[in-house]
Amino acid sequence: MASPTPRRQWRRFAPILAVQFIGTLGYSIVLPFLVFLVADFGGASWTYGFVGAAYSACQLVGAPVLGRWSDRLGRRPILLLSQAGTMLAWLVFLTALALPAESVGTFAGASMTIPLLLVFVARALDGVTGGNISVANAYVADLTRDDQAARQVAFGRMGMAASLGFALGPAVGGVLGATSWGYAGPVSAALVISAVATAMCLALREPPGRCPLGPPSQPAVTRILGQQHRRCDRSIPAARPSVLKRPIVAALITATFVQFLAFNLFYAGFPVHADIALHWDATHMGSFFAVMSGVMIVAQGPGLRVVSARLPPPAVFGLGMMALVAAFVAFSFPQPGALYSGAVLFAVGNGLAWPTFQARLADVAGEADQGTVQGAATSAGSFASILGLVVGGMLYPWLDVWLFVAGAILFVLVALGTPAWFRTTSSPPSDSPSNTPSIDER
């Protein structure tokens, strides 16, 4: 069956792209000052890593569950649930700012205060429902099941929407944080933005064509929440671990882990490096991340479309990996030119490599198990984020800029595995309960 015309197809993507943009905007708006807020509340450099890891630790648990639920109950109600959880998390965060920073104890040079603990709880709560990225990826895969070329571009546009949020979020956060409202300004904005994202989920429709065997009946409440007369899925077991045991799926999830580990060594180490070694303030850091995200928008949109039209996916992925290696090496130099060159290389590498990799993961997942596989990949990424954020925050005082060199080595290892990640396989049958691997995958 032929896919819709490009204009009609991308019109169907508009709601999920808007949700992706608004959700990322709300998340990234606190990036310029989070490290300073943690310090003001009594935290040390390692505490910042643990606050960041709280989100990933809880996402590690939530993502596979939300992914499986979305396979059975539909993408839209699970996205709605997760966005509501994010909104509640920002409300807890805002409450923390209204409390006095009274210490309840000290540990490893850090003061444990009530506001700091509430910030930790807010990040954890957001992480529990933060597995919506796996559901959003499954939603995109559903809409592009008949067009593999469109799938790569679609994931690029999802990344482009996220990058646009990351470009505007730190800039808005830096501006609002410099006002008389202080930290409460950007956090309040994040709460409002999350409420808008929750409302945007109401505009989503279940992807068509998810019930070729005929949809079973469902309760009236579920029909109303899903905006459909019947549940458009198939009756499948609550857990289908066999798909995760397929060698190509396991290999791609392993590669996801390594990439996220490298990314989070940067996200844990660079803010501390910018504060201690470079003496940047929140405005400078916001500008840096805004430049990085702005370039990433171009890389994930027109850049990816042009490059992928001329090169096969393995070459596009390998090119992106090499740009990331060069970026991490550039971050080890203190000169502004090297740092901003690294930001550009980081954006180009991420913009080319990650959407291509996501499209490959969606290709091997099959129709019935998109949520399960995307949830497992998100969980692997969350586990890597925990290690990267915690270990990166703890090791930076000893490794200094060598932490970024370690990240570059990890990307080299992923690049060397490109032939394995993209070796030719047959897609699993969409209506098979076992998703038996092809001969090439055994």
- Please give the average pLDDT of every successive group of 10 residues along the chain, which has 442 residues: 47 73 74 75 71 74 78 81 86 88 67 81 81 76 74 80 76 78 84 82 70 45 44 44 76 92 87 82 76 83 87 93 95 89 93 90 76 81 80 80 91 93 61 36 34
Report if residue 371 sits inside a domain: yes
Q: At 340, which CATH number?
A: 1.20.1250.20
CA-nearest of 287, 263, 250, 291 to 377 is 250
Residue 304 in any domain: the answer is yes
In total, how many domains does the chain have? 1
The answer to whether residue 429 is domain-embedded is no
pLDDT of residue 115: 83
Would you say residue 99 lies in a domain?
Answer: yes
Task: Decide if 433 is inside a domain.
Answer: no
User: pTM, whole model, 2 decimals?
Assistant: 0.66
242 located within any domain: yes
Cα dihedral sign, 201-72-373-432: negative
Range of the domain at 164: 6-424
Q: What is the pLDDT of residue 111?
A: 66
Q: What is the predicted pLDDT for the residue at 100?
A: 78
Of the candidates 68, 173, 66, the one whose C-alpha atom is nearest the C-alpha of residue 127 is 66
What separation in angstroms does the CA of 53 have from each of 116, 282, 381, 411?
A: 14, 21, 12, 21
- Residue 442 inside a domain? The answer is no
The pLDDT of residue 5: 41
| Sign of CA pseudo-dihedral 173, 257, 399, 45 | positive
Q: What region does 400 belong to: left with phi over 0, alpha with psi -120 to 50, or beta? A: left
3-class state of residue 171 by DSSP: helix
Q: What is the pLDDT of residue 130?
A: 65
